Structure 1
């Protein structure tokens, strides 16, 4: 099944400062704590932290299929404001993942988004649907973004002693 997958975003207001949230995301080795689909992340090719051009290896899993890995490259490093990377996979195209941090009254509006740079091929859609059993990739990615933001919120607000029960939600 061929889908229209082009871009999407999710946002959540988190009672934490933009720099603290940026540091959580830019340390990509912590992504397994936040994303329901990432199992392990390590910096590779001599990279030890977020710089433009740095690469990391991510082990992902979703649906009923086996885990797989990719090697994203960091594309934007703007502490406290924005962090982004692109991942390219055979048959699954290229997707840019971006995190933006906007100061708001009482915290930060954190926005996670993706943008398809190179579309998923027909073979890729066949693999996603048949091997992994995913029929609506857009819905799976949206759910993953929302869950990631909620997990980041819980971690960030725990640091500051704030519970998420009284936190502002997404706009």
Structure 2
């Protein structure tokens, strides 16, 4: 993996992909509905659009509430930074100019179905992980490695849920 041994400041990334035996429009319908994401995640508990918006659009914001055994419970505001109907949907967590993470779904028609990828980048802005690194700077690479592996596992599970729903 490209992030093995990375430090937080390296802004490590992870990506998972799958092929789904369903039309791109069906997969897009699921991917672009962030309110569905908590049903696919052990960590993400709820998502709610803010500012009277009910769907993705550039600049739209949503609040996510999460829970993790090691980090407790927290809330973040994400900003949609990319929205190309049927193709790409991305959001920055926290400050869009210096996010704690960026998440992106990409879709592409392939072999009569849809190729779906989920990508994420950690940093450069501070996150809950920053507090663990501050407390144990000598373990930073291990902390980042473990968290990136969690993200990778969770993204694979999310894509599997989307695949199951889209193919049903």
Question: Equivalent residue of 1:47, what SS?
Answer: coil
- Measure how far apart 1:122 and its partner are: 9.8
CA shift, 1:48, in A, is 1.4
Q: How far apart, CA to CA, are the structure 1 residues paired with 2:86 and 2:159? A: 16
More displaced, 2-11 or 68-77? 2-11
- The verdict on how the C-alpha distance between 1:50 and 1:126 changes in structure 2, with shifts beyond 3 A counting, is same
Structure-2 residue corresponding to 1:155: 165
SS at match of 2:64: strand
Q: TM-score, normalised by structure 2?
A: 0.79
When residues 142 and 3 of structure 1 are mapped into structure 2, their CA distance, relative to the original with a 3 A threshold, is: farther
**Residue 18 of structure 1 pairs with residue 24 of structure 2:** yes
1:103 and 1:19 map into 2 onto residues whose CA distance is 10
1:168 corresponds to which residue?
Answer: none
Q: Counterparts of 1:150 and 1:122 in 2: how far apart (Å)?
A: 27
Q: Mind listing any 5+ residue stretches in structure 2 that lack a counterpart?
A: 1-6, 137-142
Q: Contact 1:19/1:79 (CA < 8 Å) preserved in 2?
A: no
**Aligned counterparts of 2:108 and 2:146: Cα–Cα separation in 1:** 30
CA displacement, residues 24-51 of structure 1 (integer Å, 9 cap, x when unaligned) = 1211111112233211001011211111
- The residue that corresponds to 1:113 in the other structure is 119
In 1: Cα distance, 2:30 partner to 2:58 partner: 17
**Residue of structure 1 equivalent to 2:58:** 52
Cα deviation code 1:113-150 (max 9, x no counterpart): 012351547971517988xx987111011001101100
1:55-101: CA deviation from partner (whole Å, max 9, x where unpaired): 00101122333221101011111111111111027xx9521100000
Using a 3 Å threshold, how does the CA distance of structure 1 residues 118 and 15 change in structure 2: closer, same or farther? same
Which is further off, 60-69 or 9-18? 60-69
Query: Residues 8 and 124 of structure 2 are in contact (CA less than 8 Å); yes or no, is this contact kept in structure 1?
Result: no
Distance in 2 separating the partners of 1:9 and 1:112: 6
CA RMSD of aligned residues (A): 2.8
Among candidates 38, 61, 67, match of residue 73 of structure 2 = 67
CA contact (8 A) 1:55 1:73 kept: yes
Whether the 8 Å CA contact 1:36–1:148 is kept in 2: the answer is no
